[in-house]
Amino acid sequence: MNLSNVKLVVSDMDGTLLNSKGEVSNLFFTLFHKLKQHKVHFCAASGRQHNSIVHKLYPIKDEIFVIAENGGITKKSEKVLLSNYLAAEKVINLIPVLRKIQDVNMVLCCEGMAFIESTDKRFISLFQEYYQSFKQVDDLIKIAKTTPVFKIAVYHFDSSEKYIFPEINNFSDAIFIKISGKNWLDISDKKANKGNALREVQKKLQISKTETLVFGDYHNDIEMLQEADFSFAMKNAHKDIKEIANYTTESNDNNGVEIVLQKLLLDKATSLISADQ
């Protein structure tokens, strides 16, 4: 595996670039600046709110591409490159269905703001890790009638795959349903996924699949992993992701992303030395 031709690095956040404490390593920021010297672009791609991703990567926020809300919105600094909203009538129809599922908490993800009607203090404390800007409201349907929604994020404390997915899978013809983590499930427009968003970034930069390196760990990363020849599953990834990715790396708690980036930089340097000889 030679990474010397890579021009774009794309990484999921939770379970991938972030460790189990939700932190980005200092080593990553050091490697980012070295990659920049080699004209390698970086894109963060997450189910998180845009504000939350930017908060985690604040020192480099104006230098990177950000795919937020699982492809609901893609930005470079403050410039919007792509946005995909979920039709209001679909949101309004889904809310009552989701309300009926026991122990479920919903988030309406909108531009710059998330809305919840949950009063569960445990959930509110947890969900603030992913959504920096939010409001608690009495009725999410009222919000859906007046505010465009990128996606509905749904949380279950035990398992999104076991308790949420079976209850809404019969809607899959009309909406895009993704299990985005052990506890999270995302509902969005059919066109809103990380793969479509990544293609927009690649198009803007005129970078091909053969020049793209992607890291991921869960089902919401599948489409973007398929847009890169150098697709890496984390050691801690869901088994389905390990089967889809072309390569694997160490876990998010063992600098899995950073190890590959160091290999990329080494291959770049070796290629330059060979070219000079």
Q: Is 222 helix (H, G, I), strand (E, B) or coil?
A: helix
Separation CA 118–CA 116 (nearest Å): 6
1 in a structural domain = no
Final residue in a domain of this structure, among 133, 158, 188: 188
CATH number at residue 38: 3.40.50.1000
Positions of the chain with pLDDT under 70: 274-277
CATH number at residue 123: 3.30.1240.10
Q: Note the pLDDT of residue 231.
A: 98
Q: Which two tokens stand for residue 228?
A: 């890169």
Separation CA 233–CA 220 (nearest Å): 12
Strand partners, 178: 186
Q: How far is CA 146 from the centre of its chain?
A: 26
Q: In what order do the strands lie in the sheet with 134-136?
A: 134-136, 113-116, 104-110, 151-156, 184-188, 176-179
State the residue range of the domain holding 168. Answer: 88-188
248 in a structural domain = yes
Q: Note the pLDDT of residue 10.
A: 98
Same domain assignment for residues 183 and 97: yes
Q: Based on the structure, what is the number of domains in the chain? A: 2
Q: Which two tokens stand for residue 100?
A: 């009926």
Final residue in a domain of this structure, among 125, 155, 188: 188
Same domain assignment for residues 131 and 250: no
18-66 pLDDT, tens digit each: 999 999 999 999 999 999 999 999 999 998 989 899 999 999 999 999 9
Final residue in a domain of this structure, among 158, 188, 218: 188
Q: Note the pLDDT of residue 173.
A: 86
**Is 12 in contact with 46 (CB distance < 8 Å)?**
yes
Q: Half-sphere exposure (CA, 13 Å, Cβ side) for 149?
A: 30
Q: Note the pLDDT of residue 277.
A: 55
265 phi and psi angles, rounded to 5 deg: -65, -40
CA-CA-CA-CA dihedral for 217, 214, 199, 78, to nearest 10:
90
Q: Note the pLDDT of residue 275.
A: 60
271 in a structural domain = yes
Residue 277, burial from CB neighbour count under 10 angstroms (0-12, 13-18, 19+): exposed
Separation CA 262–CA 150 (nearest Å): 35
Same domain assignment for residues 180 and 46: no
Same domain assignment for residues 52 and 104: no
Q: Return the H-helix or E-strand segment holding 104.
A: strand 104-110
Q: Is 54 left (phi over 0), alpha (psi -120 to 50) or beta?
A: alpha
Q: How far is CA 41 from the centre of its chain?
A: 17
Q: Note the pLDDT of residue 6.
A: 97
2 in a structural domain = no
Cα–Cα distances in angstroms (integers) from residue 75 to residues 4, 26, 47, 79, 152, in the given order: 27, 24, 14, 5, 20
Same domain assignment for residues 219 and 154: no
Same domain assignment for residues 125 and 156: yes
